[in-house]
């Protein structure tokens, strides 16, 4: 049985929410004026990819290149354009192709909430938030009531049929009124996933995670120290030219908070990470001939800080602060069959940002409130000289190397962000909203310092090789959005329309570098391949606009409906009549939930329209519409034991998520370059035990 396109469109007209469910029974999405907080303190995402939670928020979606590599997308912007923090800390992925996006370091069972800032992000939240901001809050454990220590914990296990996967994790908490200690561990493993016509290879994965935390509280002062160790093993990324062999590293943070409610709040954070990453094109996928084996060893060293002070008064609050983040990247490619082969892909590529900000929130009267913010960021970037075996042997590659090494690699950007928001409450049920902003983003190290045509593009996954442009200008987005929040005893809805004009938007354009073109064509002749001419990261003008809304309707004490509607359009705003690459198709979902005293059940329908506004320069393919049905139920067996089960894609629909990328691994079930299919019918079960 297939769901035809016209019912899908009808579903989108009358209901709402995004793609395949990643079941969090009793998941609560708490709405405020400018955030959506997904509260999952007692729940667990079945999927190994925590980014799938974003599909529960209006405007959000996920670019997926493999089972662990979900890259957030918000209103058409994705990757480094979206600020990402975990408990107020920040990190830069270890790999140049974002096989470990920041959100992949958050652990589902240790997650308390996922906050998505809706639309214009306050300047105090993040240094660069041109495309939005996401903050993950993990469960630290609570301080106790007395001097004696109390012990508690949680054990979680789940399994899925679509990839024969399992996930097990545990956390133990010990605390009294002044101290709290947290110890947690997680392990997960999955095989290649199935779709209606075969298997998606390679999509196997394995990962372990270990965490320690200690908190101390006295009076209004709290200090929290956290350490995490991530160990990802063999994991497939079929939309990319290589797969994960290892991602290992340490994450650490130290936070101090002084809190006098409604008077003063001061937070100081110091954080960092040391991450190492190895990827190959021969271990998990069918290996090419020995001369074309490639292994990429990459690393990132990150350090950051944030100081923020908020002073409260009778009519609002004033926030002042400063922050900084430094990331250093290395990436070296070799061939284990040829000790003479090497490529210094990125050599000590550095990016440092220092920012200072001021923000005022004001309640003018019973009807009007507002927010004003200003931020100044200074971004400094640099990279060391590079070399490679091809540059020693081929004139075209030598020209690219010499041009890069002789260029002015140190670049400095001075960026000014401005934000203004206003709310007008006409009745107790309706609150109107208008926001305007100017937001900036300086280029990533890949966009500036990729000197040899390669696919090291922060997960673009379009199959093209790219070179960077050192003298890129920062992106400048001028944004406006408007909407309302409506709420009564049974119905809530929050529609928004938005428009963003982006000057100097960074994307790939047809390369005019004769050396880069000559190099790619020479490699085609040498290896018998047919790769297209390279693209080059360039500044263009762009615009993004659209509409999104979330809603909920309590039919009676037992039955409720909820959903989302999302539409975004992204296109070039210059002489090129082209669309922006990898923009989510219009989509809608509706969830019907029945709640009883000891159990809940949910029926969900998901509809995506076709996406035919595609990028010609990226050779992006159109995608078809599709519809899905998902079912799940949860039984609260006791106050300590919770059991859940369900089925995703009940009708075993064959469909391709437009954001799922194109196949780059030889697979008898999927042609090279074809859109990657999404998972087929998936039965899952989960158990949570607390003590």
Domain extent for 427? 5-690
Pairing status of strand 221-232 against strand 205-218: antiparallel
Average pLDDT of the residues in 300-320: 97
Model confidence at 3: pLDDT above 50: no
Which tens digits make up the pLDDT trace of 80-103? 999 999 988 999 999 999 999 999
CATH of residue 463's domain is 2.40.170.20
- Kindly indicate the confidence band of residue 34, based on its pLDDT and cuts at 50, 70 and 90: confident
Show the tokens assigned to 284.
């998990």
Categorise residue 361: left if φ over 0, alpha if ψ from -120 to 50, beta otherwise. Answer: beta
Q: How many domains does the chain have?
A: 1
User: CA 343 to CA 390: how far, in whole Å?
Assistant: 8
Residue pair 493/462 in contact by the 8 Å Cβ criterion:
no
- Kindly indicate the confidence band of residue 404, based on its pLDDT and cuts at 50, 70 and 90: very high
Average pLDDT of the residues in 310-324: 97
User: CA 605 to CA 599: how far, in whole Å?
Assistant: 21
Model confidence at 16: pLDDT above 70: no
Pick from 50-54, 281-285, 311-315, 506-510: least confident: 50-54
Which tens digits make up the pLDDT trace of 255-294? 999 999 889 999 999 999 999 999 999 999 999 999 999 9
Which tens digits make up the pLDDT trace of 507-546? 999 999 999 999 999 999 998 889 999 999 999 999 999 9
Mean of pLDDT over the chain: 93
Q: What is the sign, positive or negative, of the torsion defined by CA atoms of 95, 97, 100, 101? A: positive
Residue 9: predicted pLDDT: 32
Model confidence at 313: pLDDT above 50: yes
Model confidence at 65: pLDDT above 50: yes
- Kindly indicate the confidence band of residue 15, based on its pLDDT and cuts at 50, 70 and 90: very low
Task: Report how far Cα 412 is from the mean position of its chain's Cα atoms.
Answer: 27
Residue 2: predicted pLDDT: 36
- Kindly indicate the confidence band of residue 39, based on its pLDDT and cuts at 50, 70 and 90: low
Average pLDDT of the residues in 65-89: 95
Residue 40: predicted pLDDT: 58
Residue 8 or residue 73, greater confidence: 73
Average pLDDT of the residues in 348-353: 98
Report the percent of the chain where pLDDT is more than 70.
Answer: 94
- Kindly indicate the confidence band of residue 46, based on its pLDDT and cuts at 50, 70 and 90: confident
Residue 576: predicted pLDDT: 86
Q: How many CB atoms lie within 10 A of CB 441?
A: 28
User: CA 582 to CA 524: how far, in whole Å?
Assistant: 27
Residue 25 or residue 187, greater confidence: 187
Residue 28: predicted pLDDT: 42
Average pLDDT of the residues in 619-636: 96
Show the tokens assigned to 493.
């809805």
- Torsions phi, psi for 32 (to 5 deg): -125, -170
């Amino acid at each position: 049985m297939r769901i035809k396109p016209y019912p899908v469109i009808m579903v989108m007209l009358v209901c709402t929410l995004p793609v395949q469910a990643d079941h969090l029974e009793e998941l609560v999405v708490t709405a405020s004026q400018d955030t959506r907080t997904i509260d999952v303190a007692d729940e667990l995402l079945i999927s190994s990819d925590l980014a799938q939670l974003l599909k529960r928020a209006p405007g959000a979606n996920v670019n997926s290149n493999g089972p662990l590599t979900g890259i957030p997308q918000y209103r058409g912007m994705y990757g480094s354009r979206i600020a990402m923090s975990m408990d107020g800390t920040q990190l830069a992925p270890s790999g140049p192709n974002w096989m470990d996006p920041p959100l992949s370091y958050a652990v589902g069972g240790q997650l308390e909430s996922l906050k998505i800032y809706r639309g214009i992000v306050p300047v105090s939240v993040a240094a660069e938030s041109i495309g939005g901001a996401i903050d993950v809050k993990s469960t630290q454990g609570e301080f106790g009531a007395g001097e004696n220590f109390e012990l508690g914990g949680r054990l979680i296990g789940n399994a899925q049929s679509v990839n024969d996967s399992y996930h097990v994790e545990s956390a133990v908490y010990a605390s009294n009124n002044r101290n709290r200690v947290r110890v947690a561990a997680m392990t997960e493993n999955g095989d290649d996933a199935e779709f209606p016509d075969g298997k998606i290879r390679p999509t196997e994965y394995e990962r372990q995670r270990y965490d320690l935390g200690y908190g101390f509280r006295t009076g209004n002062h709290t200090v929290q120290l956290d350490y995490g160790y991530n160990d990802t093993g063999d994991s497939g990324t079929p939309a990319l030219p290589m797969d994960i062999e290892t991602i290992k590293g340490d994450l650490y943070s130290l936070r101090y908070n002084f809190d006098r409610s409604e008077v003063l709040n001061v937070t100081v954070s110091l954080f960092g990470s040391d991450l190492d990453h190895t990827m190959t094109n021969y271990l998990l996928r069918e290996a090419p001939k020995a001369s074309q084996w490639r292994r990429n060893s990459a690393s990132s060293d990150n350090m950051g800080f944030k100081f923020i002070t908020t002073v409260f008064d009778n009519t609002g609050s004033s926030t002042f602060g400063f922050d900084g983040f430094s990331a250093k990247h290395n990436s070296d490619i070799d061939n284990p069959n040829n000790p003479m082969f090497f490529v210094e892909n990125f050599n000590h590529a550095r990016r440092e940002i220092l920012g200072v900000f001021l923000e005022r929130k004001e309640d003018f009267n019973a009807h009007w409130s507002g927010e004003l913010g200003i931020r100044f960021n200074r971004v400094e970037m640099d990279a060391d000289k590079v070399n490679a075996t091809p540059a020693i042997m081929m004139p075209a590659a030598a020209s690219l190397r010499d041009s890069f090494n002789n260029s002015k690699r140190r670049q400095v950007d001075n960026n000014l962000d401005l934000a203004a928001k206003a709310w007008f409450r006409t009745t107790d049920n309706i609150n109107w909203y208008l926001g305007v902003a100017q937001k900036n983003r300086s280029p990533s190290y890949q966009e500036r310092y990729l000197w040899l045509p390669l696919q090291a593009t922060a997960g673009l996954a379009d199959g093209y090789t790219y070179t960077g442009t050192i003298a890129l200008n920062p992106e400048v987005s001028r944004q406006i959005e408007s909407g309302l929040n409506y709420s009564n005893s049974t119905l809530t809805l929050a529609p928004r329309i938005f428009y963003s004009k982006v000057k100097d938007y960074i994307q790939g354009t047809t390369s005019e570098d004769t050396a880069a073109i000559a190099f790619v064509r020479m490699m085609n002749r040498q290896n018998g391949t047919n790769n297209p001419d390279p693209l080059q990261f360039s500044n263009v003008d762009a615009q993004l606009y659209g509409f999104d809304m979330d809603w909920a309707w309590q039919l009676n004490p037992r039955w409720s409906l909820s959903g989302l509607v999302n539409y975004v359009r992204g296109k070039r705003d210059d002489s090129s009549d082209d669309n922006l690459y990898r923009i989510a198709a219009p989509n809608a979902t509706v969830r019907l939930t029945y709640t009883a005293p000891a159990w809940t059940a949910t029926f969900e329908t998901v509809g995506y329209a076709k996406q035919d506004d595609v990028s010609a320069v990226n050779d992006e393919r159109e995608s078809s519409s599709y519809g899905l049905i998902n079912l799940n139920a949860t039984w609260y067996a006791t106050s300590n034991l919770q059991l859940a089960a369900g089925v995703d894609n009940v009708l075993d629909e064959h469909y391709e998520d437009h954001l799922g990328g194109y196949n780059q691994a030889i697979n008898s079930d999927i042609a090279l370059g074809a859109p990657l299919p999404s998972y087929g019918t998936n039965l899952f079960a989960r158990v949570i035990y607390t003590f």
